[in-house]
Structure formats: C-alpha cells, structure tokens
Amino acid sequence: MDNNIEKLKQTIIRQVNSESSRLKALAVRIHDNPEPGLQEYKACEWLTQFLTEQSFTLERGICDMPTAFRAVYGKGKPAVGLLAEYDALPGLGHACGHNLICTIAIGAAIAAKAAVDRYGGSIIVIGTPAEENYGGKIVMARKGAFTNLDAAMLVHPDVVDIAAVPAIACQQMNVEFFGKAAHASSNPAAGINALDAMILSFNNINALRQHIQSTARIHGIITDGGRAANIVPDHCAGEFYVRAADDASLDELLQKVLNCFISAGLATGARIEYKPDPLRYASMTSNMTLARLYVDNMKAIGREVSLFESKIPLNVGSTDMGNVSQVTAAIHPMVAIAPKGISPHSPEFAAAAASETGLNGMCDAAKAVAMTVVDLLCNAETMKKVREEFKQTRLQENK
Ligand SMILES: [Zn+2]
C-alpha cells in the first residue's frame, strides 16, 4: 500500500483512540436515555452538537422529520455517507444497539476528516430516525436524501462480525374484519363473528407456511379481539409483517397472504378492510467492493470479519438500509458486541450495548469505516469500481 495512505490510516486509528472516551460517554448517555422512533430529540441534540464542534455544517429536520439531520464536512465528490440510527425500542431501551450505530458514524466521520483534508471530496453524516417500526430511511430515500451519495455505510451491533449482511424485504399489512354484534348465547344466529375471521386467517396462514421459501416470514398480532365474551365480536383488527427474500417474491407472497384473509372473510361473512402500509422495507444489496474494503480495514486493526455468512442465513431480518442500497452503493456490516446465543431485541442485548465489549466494538467499527473512507477518497479507481458494481446490480435487479 502507498506509504502516505498507510500513514493516513494510522492517523485515523490514533484519532479514534484519542476520541474514544468521549465517544463511549456519548454512546452510554444515549443508551441511558432511550427514545423511541421519531422522538429521538436528546440523541439528535447530542450527536449534532458533537459534529458542529468538529466543524461539520449542520442541517436539522431534513426530509420534514424533526429528528433527522445532515452534517457535511468538505465539498463535492466523492460524497461518502455515514448513516446514524439512534432510536430505541419501546419498553426495551437500546436492545438493538442503535446507540452504538450513531457513535460509530460520528467517530468515523471525525476521524475521516483528515482524508477529506488530504484528498478532497466530502463526508456526509446523515441522522436517520425511527429504523424500528417506521422505516425512516424509506421516507428519506423517497425524498432524495441519499441520491447524491457515492457510497453509504452503517455498522449495526450483533453477535457476529460480518460485512455483507442479507436483509429481506418486508411489508406491513393492517387487516380489519367487520362483523355483527349479537348476544353470544341467546341470539348467536344473528351475529357475524369478526374474531373468528381473524382466527381463521391465522390458521390459513399457518397452512400456507409449510409451502413458502425458508427465507420468507409471516407473523402478526391481534390488536382488537372483541369487547366481552358474551358479545359476538363485531370488529377485529390485526397487524402483520410479511417478509421475503426480494421485492418480486414479496409481491407474490403478499397476494397469497391476502387470499388467507379474504377466504376467512368469506367463510364467516365478515367484511374485510385491508391496508398495505405505504412503506416497504426493500431487501439489502451489499456492495461487495465496499464490503471487501471494510473487511481488509478491520483485519488491519486486528479484527476478523467474515465477508458474508457461509450458510444460507435463516436468522434474517429487514432493515430500511435496504432502501438506501437501492439508490446508492451501500453496506450494513454487523459488529459483534455480545456472545452468540444472545438475541438482539432482548434485555441481555440492551446491556451489551453499553458494555465494555460493546463500546470497544464501536471504536473498532468507527476506525474501519473511517479507513474505508480513505480508500474511497484517495483512489479514483476504487471509487469507480464501487459505482460500477452498484450500476450493474441495479441493472440486474430491474431486469
Ligand atoms: Zn437495529
């Protein structure tokens, strides 16, 4: 490697080390003040304050979201996006470790300033609210927040170190059945049971489940199941998530799931109202050129990261980073902060997100991301390769 680039990467490592106590304190502060999606006011304030102190030019409330922001250092191309999440899970705190995602982005951004000073281009930290249960990046992608980026990176805490993580497409469905109330004992013949329609829907879906792809998922809850046991329920509502490997298979599966509801409505006589959520999580396409750079940089600081999982992943979720990967070259690596066996979205994982292991993982990831920014800014050929791969994958996916 060019000696100058090697020296610059060493500077970046030292920079993250010297900022590590401030970064760790910030990660713990956000962890101790968990805020659910779209209400991340404190986190947004603390993160943006950190960035303005570091000479980033700040714009808050972008895309009409009060807790979204954009902070820019340098100008022009290449423009590298470092994406930050900071929402918590209602009732569980930072059980997905998003307090570390944002401090990875901030740590990487301030360290990578040296690369901008040397080679030009820009770093753009984008604060993306409400990843959980809303999909902030889906809205932001539609509003063009990522369109001008040449690459986008976000590192997520996990129990493994993997660079190219698959994520499946996901669509929420809100379903209601409307029946007819009647006395459940003295006059049941006059009633139409909306709850039965919902229960039949679950049974239909369970029958369908044997014949879907192993990467697909269907899961739901009943949010209204009636008012009293002696009244035939005249209304029942449920929320469902339907997931599949890609957009095309999701469309196909959604139709099958819809048939489960429609047939349950026919069987019971209950009227169905069905609303697909307008926001759909797209599947994640990792840019492998970017992913390899990240793996190499992690290796250089002594952390082994798999490029991707060797087996077909079964423990797979969805992320709104998938929608970012459709508009620019993107990666969403996982950094291990807890031993295997601990599940994200659990109290144990929330504890790991403020543990010494978690905070050290955050610093490692910040270094590797900043070093990857160096690779992109210092070498036009590398950047070209990233862009070409992105164009190629979009062409294939749109065939
Ligand atoms: Zn998460």
What are the tens digits of pLDDT across the range 119-136? 999 999 999 999 987 899
What strands lie across the sheet with 79-84, from one edge to the other? 57-60, 69-75, 121-127, 79-84, 151-153, 330-331
Annotation: CATH topology of 3-167+284-397: Aminopeptidase (3.40.630)
Cβ within 8 Å of residue 283, ≥6 positions away: 166, 167, 168, 169, 245, 246, 247, 318, 322
156 forms beta bridges with 334
pLDDT at 310: 55
Question: What is the per-residue pLDDT for 261?
Answer: 98
Q: Kindly give the distance from the C-alpha atom of residue 386 to the centroid of ligand 1, in angstroms, as a whole number.
A: 25
Residues near ligand 1 ion, CB 5 Å cutoff: 96
> For residue 230, how far is its CA from the centre of ligand 1 (angstroms)?
42
Question: 């980033």: which residue's tokens?
Answer: 56
Alpha carbon distance 372, 152 (integer Å): 11
CA of 74 to the centre of ligand 1 (A): 29
Question: For strand 79-84 and strand 235-244, is the pairing parallel, antiparallel, or unpaired?
Answer: unpaired
CA of 98 to the centre of ligand 1 (A): 6
Return the pLDDT at 313.
54
Centre of ligand 1 to C-alpha 337, Å, is 13
Q: pLDDT at position 395, please?
A: 84
In the reported structure, the alpha carbon of residue 97 is separated from the centroid of ligand 1 by a whole-number distance in angstroms of 7
CA 87 to ligand 1 center in whole angstroms? 9
Ligand 1: centre distance to CA 317 (Å) = 9
CATH of domain 173-281: 3.30.70.360
What does residue 388 show for φ and ψ, rounded to 5 degrees? -60, -45
- Residue 309: what pLDDT? 67
- pLDDT reported for residue 397: 77
Neighbours of 380 (CB within 10 A): 11
Distance from C-alpha of 14 to C-alpha of 1, rounded to nearest angstrom: 19
Q: In the prediction, which pLDDT does 300 show?
A: 97
Those residues of the chain that have pLDDT short of 70 are 1, 309-315, 399
CA angle 303, 371, 166 (to 5 degrees): 65
How far does the centroid of ligand 1 lie from the alpha carbon of residue 259, in Å? 31
Distance from residue 96's CA to the centre of ligand 1 (Å): 5
How is residue 188 annotated by DSSP? G
Distance 132 CA to ligand 1 centre (A): 7
- Tokens 């995602």 identify what position? 101
Task: Report the separation in Å between the CA atom of 345 and the middle of ligand 1, taken as the mean of its atom positions.
Answer: 8
Distance 85 CA to ligand 1 centre (A): 8
How many angstroms does the Cα of residue 331 sit away from the middle of ligand 1?
Answer: 14
Residue 394 has what pLDDT? Answer: 87
Distance (angstroms) between ligand 1 centre and the Cα of 354 equals 15
Q: pTM value?
A: 0.90
Residue 352 phi, psi (nearest 5): -60, -30
- Cα 284 to averaged position of ligand 1 atoms, centre (Å): 14
**pLDDT per position as a tens digit, 232-280:** 999 999 999 999 998 899 999 999 999 999 999 999 999 999 987 888 9
- Sketch the domain layout of the chain as residue ranges: 3-167+284-397, 173-281
